[in-house]
Structure 1
Amino acid sequence: MTFHFVLLLSRQGKTRLTKWYSTFTPKEKQRMIREVGSMVLNRSPKLCNFLEYKDYKIIARRYASLYFIMCVDKNDNELLTLEITHHYVKILDRYFGNVCELDLIFNFHKAYYILDELMIAGELQETSEKTVLRLIATQDALQENPGDGGKPGTI
């Protein structure tokens, strides 16, 4: 299963996070964000979460005020993609304590870091929430104590 991109949009259509795993030109990226965003945002909540877009499949899920949108190949499993999306949201929730749009606006680097711990090159890397949260805690500790391992008295 290969992801082509991950996109987080607000209900107003503002882009909150984008991660590209396939090569697209900047013009193609903007066009895809605009087209996929309008398809997902204008869709009735009672309709299916799976959409076809060109040679891809779009899987979208709304959590609170954010739409989590994943783009995969047409032959990839939609339910597995929804599970990976839910896994990402659960880790964000545990890290931020009930994640909201403002958490992603002001701590976007953490959201990217969490996504990078989950996926590499568009493929799922880590399935354990505990492992991802431990790695993030380690990263936070390194940021708080930069230098020689955070040991006092060293420069």
Structure 2
Amino acid sequence: MVINTFGKPRLSKFYEFQWRSNKSSSAMSTQDTRLVYKHYATLYFVFLFDNSENELAMLDLIQAVFVETLDKCFKSVCELDVVFNYSKMHIILDEIILGGQVLETDSVEVVRAVEEISKVESTTSAGTLINKSIPSWWAR
């Protein structure tokens, strides 16, 4: 999860949803869940994970992989990059973590994969995927 200094979530991704009652507090703590965060400029990067993971490894994943990759993709990432490029943020996060499992820890490889996906998306426009029999006013 990425939140700004005012507490507004800017990016969130959950791999296991847990129902909570309406009467529960805003803090969640269980025996098997831990939280680490890192503050950069106006953003907090927050990771929640289970006891099988190491806190220092998660902090390193935030700092040396996720934030470093964001800086390479956005040239010094800021809150507006997160807000206006949320789909690219999810792609980056999916290249690093998928289904709750860490897949890639090399930011250079993540950037390379994101650039390849961006090239494919730029060559494939939505207009070419629309059937020619659809009226032009409807395809807008």
TM-score range, shorter chain: 0.7 to 0.9
The residue number in structure 2 matching 1:58 is 35
Instruction: Tell me how far apart the structure 1 counterparts of residues 6 and 38 of structure 2 sit (CA, whole Å).
Output: 15
- Identity rate, percent: 31
Name which of 4, 22, 41 aligns with 1:10: 4
Gapped regions of structure 2 (runs ≥ 5): 126-140
Q: Which structure: greater strand fraction?
A: 1
Instruction: Tell me how far apart the structure 2 counterparts of residues 109 and 134 of structure 1 sit (CA, whole Å).
Output: 17
The Cα offsets for residues 56-105 of structure 1, whole Å up to 9 and x where unpaired, read as 11101101111111111135311000001111000000000000000000
Q: Which runs of 4+ in 1 moved over 4 A?
A: none
Deviation (angstroms), 1:23: 2.7
Name which of 74, 87, 109 aligns with 2:87: 109
Name which of 23, 27, 44 aligns with 1:35: 27
Matches within 5 A, 1:13-28: 13-25=7-19
Q: Which amino acid aligns with 1:20?
A: F
Name which of 98, 103, 109 aligns with 1:125: 103
Q: Give the 3-state SS of the residue equivalent to 1:19 in structure 2.
A: coil
Deviation (angstroms), 1:24: 2.1
Aligned length: 121
- Work out which of the two has the higher radius of gyration on C-alpha atoms and give 1 or 2: 2
Q: Which amino acid aligns with 2:115?
A: A
Name which of 99, 107, 118 aligns with 2:77: 99
Gapped regions of structure 1 (runs ≥ 5): 1-6, 37-52, 148-155
Deviation (angstroms), 1:123: 1.2
Higher RCO, 1 vs 2 (CA within 8 Å, ≥6 residues apart): 1
Provide the alpha-carbon RMSD of the alignment: 1.9
Instruction: Tell me how far apart the structure 2 counterparts of residues 135 and 88 of structure 1 sit (CA, whole Å).
Output: 14
